[in-house]
Protein backbone atom coordinates (compact mmCIF):
# COMPACT_ATOMS: atom_id res chain seq x y z
CA UNK A 1 0.00 0.00 0.00
CA UNK A 2 1.20 3.50 -0.81
CA UNK A 3 1.53 5.58 2.36
CA UNK A 4 -0.25 8.80 3.21
CA UNK A 5 -0.99 11.38 0.60
CA UNK A 6 0.82 9.59 -2.22
CA UNK A 7 -2.20 7.31 -2.64
CA UNK A 8 -4.39 10.40 -3.07
CA UNK A 9 -2.17 11.86 -5.78
CA UNK A 10 -1.96 8.51 -7.56
CA UNK A 11 -5.77 8.25 -7.53
CA UNK A 12 -6.20 11.78 -8.90
CA UNK A 13 -3.65 11.41 -11.69
CA UNK A 14 -4.94 7.97 -12.66
CA UNK A 15 -8.69 8.75 -12.61
CA UNK A 16 -8.87 12.49 -13.31
CA UNK A 17 -11.19 12.84 -10.30
CA UNK A 18 -11.01 13.89 -6.65
CA UNK A 19 -12.66 11.15 -4.58
CA UNK A 20 -14.80 10.46 -7.64
CA UNK A 21 -15.73 14.12 -8.24
CA UNK A 22 -15.21 14.95 -11.90
CA UNK A 23 -14.18 18.40 -13.16
CA UNK A 24 -17.60 18.67 -14.82
CA UNK A 25 -19.66 17.87 -11.70
CA UNK A 26 -22.02 20.55 -10.35
CA UNK A 27 -21.30 22.29 -7.02
CA UNK A 28 -23.94 20.21 -5.20
CA UNK A 29 -22.13 16.95 -5.98
CA UNK A 30 -18.83 18.38 -4.79
CA UNK A 31 -20.48 19.41 -1.50
CA UNK A 32 -21.70 15.83 -1.01
CA UNK A 33 -18.18 14.51 -1.58
CA UNK A 34 -15.92 17.09 0.13
CA UNK A 35 -18.37 18.71 2.57
CA UNK A 36 -19.21 22.31 3.37
CA UNK A 37 -15.83 23.53 4.62
CA UNK A 38 -14.83 25.78 1.72
CA UNK A 39 -14.57 29.37 0.60
CA UNK A 40 -16.80 30.20 -2.34
CA UNK A 41 -15.57 32.84 -4.76
CA UNK A 42 -17.58 34.43 -7.55
CA UNK A 43 -16.09 36.52 -10.33
CA UNK A 44 -18.83 38.49 -12.04
CA UNK A 45 -21.96 36.52 -12.87
CA UNK A 46 -20.28 33.84 -14.93
CA UNK A 47 -17.41 32.30 -12.92
CA UNK A 48 -17.23 30.61 -9.53
CA UNK A 49 -14.71 28.47 -7.68
CA UNK A 50 -14.67 26.71 -4.36
CA UNK A 51 -11.48 26.63 -2.39
CA UNK A 52 -11.17 23.60 -0.13
CA UNK A 53 -7.57 24.53 0.79
CA UNK A 54 -5.63 21.95 -1.19
CA UNK A 55 -8.41 21.39 -3.73
CA UNK A 56 -10.13 24.03 -5.87
CA UNK A 57 -13.00 23.37 -8.30
CA UNK A 58 -14.06 25.89 -10.98
CA UNK A 59 -17.39 26.46 -12.75
CA UNK A 60 -18.85 28.82 -15.34
CA UNK A 61 -22.30 29.64 -16.65
CA UNK A 62 -23.86 31.59 -19.49
CA UNK A 63 -26.10 33.82 -17.41
CA UNK A 64 -27.10 34.49 -13.80
CA UNK A 65 -30.02 32.03 -13.89
CA UNK A 66 -28.18 29.28 -15.79
CA UNK A 67 -26.77 26.29 -13.90
CA UNK A 68 -23.07 26.17 -13.04
CA UNK A 69 -21.09 23.93 -15.40
CA UNK A 70 -17.86 22.40 -14.11
CA UNK A 71 -14.72 23.54 -15.88
CA UNK A 72 -11.65 22.12 -14.06
CA UNK A 73 -10.06 21.42 -10.71
CA UNK A 74 -6.61 22.20 -9.35
CA UNK A 75 -4.72 20.67 -6.45
CA UNK A 76 -2.66 23.55 -5.05
CA UNK A 77 0.11 21.23 -3.81
CA UNK A 78 2.50 24.15 -3.21
CA UNK A 79 0.24 25.36 -0.37
CA UNK A 80 1.20 22.32 1.72
CA UNK A 81 4.66 23.84 2.27
CA UNK A 82 2.94 26.41 4.50
CA UNK A 83 2.64 23.64 7.10
CA UNK A 84 -1.01 24.28 8.06
CA UNK A 85 -2.74 20.99 8.91
CA UNK A 86 -6.14 22.57 8.29
CA UNK A 87 -5.21 23.18 4.65
CA UNK A 88 -6.17 19.59 3.81
CA UNK A 89 -9.91 18.98 3.91
CA UNK A 90 -11.03 16.70 6.78
CA UNK A 91 -12.57 14.26 4.28
CA UNK A 92 -9.19 13.84 2.55
CA UNK A 93 -7.32 13.51 5.86
CA UNK A 94 -9.78 10.87 7.09
CA UNK A 95 -9.34 8.82 3.94
CA UNK A 96 -5.62 9.30 3.19
CA UNK A 97 -4.00 10.31 6.46
CA UNK A 98 -1.35 12.99 6.77
CA UNK A 99 -0.09 14.99 3.81
CA UNK A 100 3.62 15.74 3.51
CA UNK A 101 4.57 19.40 3.04
CA UNK A 102 6.22 18.66 -0.32
CA UNK A 103 5.54 16.16 -3.09
CA UNK A 104 8.58 14.96 -5.04
CA UNK A 105 7.82 14.50 -8.73
CA UNK A 106 10.32 11.68 -9.22
CA UNK A 107 8.61 9.62 -6.51
CA UNK A 108 5.13 10.27 -7.92
CA UNK A 109 6.27 9.43 -11.45
CA UNK A 110 8.01 6.24 -10.34
CA UNK A 111 4.85 5.00 -8.59
CA UNK A 112 2.70 5.90 -11.60
CA UNK A 113 5.11 4.09 -13.93
CA UNK A 114 4.83 0.95 -11.77
CA UNK A 115 1.06 1.10 -12.32
CA UNK A 116 1.44 1.57 -16.06
CA UNK A 117 0.27 5.20 -15.91
CA UNK A 118 2.68 7.27 -18.03
CA UNK A 119 3.30 11.00 -17.81
CA UNK A 120 4.36 12.83 -20.96
CA UNK A 121 6.07 16.20 -20.84
CA UNK A 122 4.12 18.91 -22.67
CA UNK A 123 5.28 22.38 -23.74
CA UNK A 124 5.27 24.96 -20.99
CA UNK A 125 4.02 28.51 -21.49
CA UNK A 126 6.93 30.70 -22.57
CA UNK A 127 6.60 32.92 -19.49
CA UNK A 128 7.08 29.88 -17.22
CA UNK A 129 10.23 28.50 -18.89
CA UNK A 130 12.58 27.37 -17.34
CA UNK A 131 10.97 27.69 -13.90
CA UNK A 132 8.21 25.13 -14.44
CA UNK A 133 7.79 21.90 -16.38
CA UNK A 134 4.44 20.24 -17.02
CA UNK A 135 3.70 16.54 -17.51
CA UNK A 136 0.34 15.19 -18.71
CA UNK A 137 -1.33 11.83 -18.26
CA UNK A 138 -3.00 11.24 -21.66
CA UNK A 139 -5.88 9.01 -20.52
CA UNK A 140 -7.06 11.01 -17.49
CA UNK A 141 -6.04 14.40 -18.99
CA UNK A 142 -4.40 15.36 -15.70
CA UNK A 143 -1.35 17.64 -15.73
CA UNK A 144 1.36 17.79 -13.07
CA UNK A 145 3.32 21.06 -12.87
CA UNK A 146 6.81 20.74 -11.40
CA UNK A 147 9.46 23.24 -10.30
CA UNK A 148 12.05 23.09 -13.10
CA UNK A 149 14.57 25.55 -11.69
CA UNK A 150 14.55 28.09 -8.90
CA UNK A 151 13.97 31.74 -9.76
CA UNK A 152 13.43 34.60 -7.34
CA UNK A 153 9.91 35.99 -7.85
CA UNK A 154 9.19 33.07 -10.21
CA UNK A 155 9.01 30.06 -7.87
CA UNK A 156 8.11 29.68 -4.18
CA UNK A 157 11.05 29.78 -1.76
CA UNK A 158 9.46 26.90 0.18
CA UNK A 159 9.75 24.45 -2.73
CA UNK A 160 12.79 22.81 -4.31
CA UNK A 161 13.61 21.88 -7.89
CA UNK A 162 11.68 18.67 -8.60
CA UNK A 163 8.79 19.43 -6.22
CA UNK A 164 5.24 19.29 -7.57
CA UNK A 165 3.67 22.75 -7.68
CA UNK A 166 0.13 21.79 -8.75
CA UNK A 167 -2.02 19.11 -10.35
CA UNK A 168 -4.86 20.08 -12.69
CA UNK A 169 -7.56 18.42 -14.78
CA UNK A 170 -8.62 18.38 -17.47
CA UNK A 171 -5.73 19.67 -19.55
CA UNK A 172 -6.20 19.38 -23.32
CA UNK A 173 -3.74 17.36 -25.32
CA UNK A 174 -1.93 18.55 -28.44
CA UNK A 175 -4.65 17.17 -30.75
CA UNK A 176 -7.28 19.25 -28.96
CA UNK A 177 -5.57 22.53 -29.90
CA UNK A 178 -5.61 21.90 -33.65
CA UNK A 179 -7.96 23.78 -35.91
CA UNK A 180 -10.93 21.47 -36.42
CA UNK A 181 -12.58 23.46 -39.16
CA UNK A 182 -13.91 21.06 -41.81
CA UNK A 183 -11.93 21.16 -45.06
Print pLDDT tens along the chain (183 aa).
455 789 999 999 999 999 999 999 999 999 999 999 999 999 988 999 999 999 999 999 999 899 999 999 999 999 999 988 789 999 999 999 989 999 999 999 999 999 999 999 999 999 999 999 999 999 999 999 999 999 999 999 999 999 999 999 999 887 775 444 444
The pLDDT of residue 174: 76
**DSSP character for 19?**
T
Question: Measured between alpha carbons, how far is 114 from 135 in angstroms, rounded to an integer?
Answer: 17
Distance CA 80, CA 93 (A): 13
Task: Check if the beta carbon of residue 156 is closer than 8 Å to that of residue 81.
Answer: yes
> For 39-174, where are the E strands, in sequence order?
39-43, 47-51, 55-60, 69-75, 120-122, 132-137, 142-147, 164-169
Q: Which residues pair with 132 in a beta bridge?
A: 147
Of 167, 174, 131, the C-alpha closest to 54 is 167
Phi, psi of 142 (to 5 degrees): -95, 140
CA Rg, the chain, in Å? 17
Q: State residue 83's pLDDT score.
A: 86
pLDDT reported for residue 179: 44
pTM across the whole model: 0.92
Amino acid sequence: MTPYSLAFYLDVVTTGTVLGARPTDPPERLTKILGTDYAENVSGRHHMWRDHGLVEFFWERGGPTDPWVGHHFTLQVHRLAQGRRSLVNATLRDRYGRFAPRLRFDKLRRLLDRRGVPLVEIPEATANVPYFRTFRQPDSRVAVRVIGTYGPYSTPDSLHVGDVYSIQAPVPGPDEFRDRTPG
